[in-house]
C-alpha cells in the first residue's frame, strides 16, 4: 500500500525534515509513526497525500507513483485517502451533517445516496443524535469523531491520522483509538502519527520511531 524509497525532504534554508526514509506498509496494516514533536511525522503524512513533494526519493501509494503524479490526477488520488488532523479541520459555521455532506457534494454523488452514507457514518461514530449541531456545541472527542466520519465518507483504502488523540484526555483518546481499530478491522490501512509513546507501547501495534527526520527504531 505504501512504499517510501530513500525519501528526503528539505525545506528552505536547509531545514531537513526527513532523511533517507525507507518504509513499506502492507495493505490492511495498522502502523504508528511515533516520535517527538518536530521529528517529521506530519511531513511524512503530507507526502502521502501529495500536500508536499519530496526533495528526492520515490513514494508509491496504492500502486501509484505519487511523486510523478500530474497535478490533474491529485484530486483522484485524494479521493481514495481519508485524512484526520489534530485540529479536526471542521467547518465551524456548518452543522455536523453539512460537514460530512461536503464530501459527497465534491464527489458528485446523488443527494439521496450521500445522505444515507452520512447517516450510516454518524451511527458508526455514535453521533447520530447530534447531526444538526455545529462543532461549537461538541466536545473535543466528539469533534474528532466527526472528523473521522468525514474521512470515511469516500470509503478510503488508506486512512491517515495526524495526532488524532493530541488534545484529548485519556478516556476520549481511548475511544478514538478504539474507533480507528474498528475501521482497521474492516480492512482499511491505517497510519497514525503520534508523540504519545505510552499509547504506542500499550496498543502493541507495529510502530516506526522517527527522530530528527530519520527512522531510528521499528517495533512489530
Partner 1 sequence: MERLRYILQDALVNIRRSRWGGLASIGTIAVSFVIVGIFLIITRNLGALVTEWKEQFQVTVFLEDGITPEQLALLKKRIESERAVKATTYTSKEEALQSFKRELRGKESLLEGLGENPIPASLQLRIHEAYQTPEALRQFTASLGRLEGVEDVLYGQEWVDRLAAAVRMLRLLGLSVGLALGMASLLIVSNTIRLAVYARAEEIEIMRLVGATKMHIRAPFLLEGMIQGGLGSGLALLLLFGAYRLTLWQLQLTPGQIFGVGVGSFLDPRWGGAMLLAGGGLGAFGSLISVGRFLRA
Selected binder of partner 1 within 42, 86, 144, 154 (CB under 8 A): 154
Size of the site for partner 1 (CB under 8 A): 22
Q: How many alpha carbons lie under 13 Å from residue 165 in its C-beta half-sphere?
A: 23
Strand partners, 84: 161
Residue ranges in 159-218 that form contacts with partner 1 under rule CB under 8 A? none
Residue ranges in 77-116 that form contacts with partner 1 under rule CB under 8 A? 77-79, 83, 89, 91, 102-103, 105-111
Q: How far apart are CA 30 and CA 107, in angstroms?
A: 27
Distance of closest approach, residue 128 Cβ to partner 1, in angstroms = 22
Distance of closest approach, residue 93 Cβ to partner 1, in angstroms = 9
CB 96 within 8 A of CB 138: yes
Q: How far apart are CA 65 and CA 47, in angstroms?
A: 11
Residue ranges in 31-50 that form contacts with partner 1 under rule CB under 8 A? 49
Give the residue with the Cβ less far from partner 1, 34 or 81: 81
Q: Which three three-digit cell numbers place residue 109? A: 454523488
CB 207 within 8 A of CB 29: no
CB 45 within 8 A of CB 193: yes
Piece of the chain touching partner 1 by CB under 8 A; list 13-21, 30-38, 74-82, 163-171: 74-82
Strand partners, 208: 33, 218
Distance of closest approach, residue 74 Cβ to partner 1, in angstroms = 8
Contacts with partner 1 by CB under 8 A lie at: 49, 72, 75-79, 83, 89, 91, 102-103, 105-111, 150, 153-154
Amino acid at each position: 500500500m505504501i512504499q517510501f524509497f530513500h525519501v528526503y525532504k528539505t525545506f528552505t534554508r536547509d531545514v531537513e525534515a526527513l532523511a533517507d526514509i525507507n518504509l513499506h506498509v502492507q495493505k490492511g496494516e495498522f502502523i504508528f509513526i511515533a516520535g517527538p514533536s518536530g521529528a517529521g511525522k506530519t511531513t511524512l503524512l503530507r507526502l502521502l497525500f501529495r500536500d508536499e513533494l519530496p526533495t528526492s526519493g520515490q513514494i508509491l501509494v496504492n500502486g501509484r507513483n505519487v511523486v510523478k503524479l500530474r497535478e490533474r490526477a491529485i484530486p483522484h488520488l485524494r479521493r481514495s485517502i481519508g485524512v484526520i488532523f489534530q485540529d479536526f479541520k471542521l467547518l465551524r459555521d456548518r452543522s455536523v451533517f453539512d460537514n460530512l455532506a461536503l464530501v459527497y457534494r465534491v464527489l458528485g454523488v446523488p443527494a439521496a445516496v450521500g445522505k444515507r452514507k452520512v447517516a450510516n457514518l454518524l451511527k458508526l461514530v455514535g453521533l447520530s443524535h447530534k447531526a444538526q449541531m455545529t462543532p461549537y456545541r461538541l466536545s473535543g472527542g466528539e469533534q474528532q469523531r466527526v472528523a473521522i466520519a468525514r474521512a470515511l465518507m469516500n470509503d478510503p483504502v488508506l486512512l491517515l491520522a495526524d495526532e488524532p488523540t493530541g488534545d484529548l484526555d485519556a478516556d476520549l483518546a481511548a475511544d478514538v483509538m478504539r474507533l480507528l481499530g474498528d475501521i482497521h478491522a474492516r480492512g482499511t490501512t491505517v497510519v497514525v502519527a503520534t508523540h504519545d509513546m505510552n499509547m504506542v507501547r500499550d496498543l502493541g501495534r507495529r510502530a516506526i520511531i522517527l527522530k530528527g527526520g530519520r527512522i531510528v527504531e521499528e517495533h512489530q
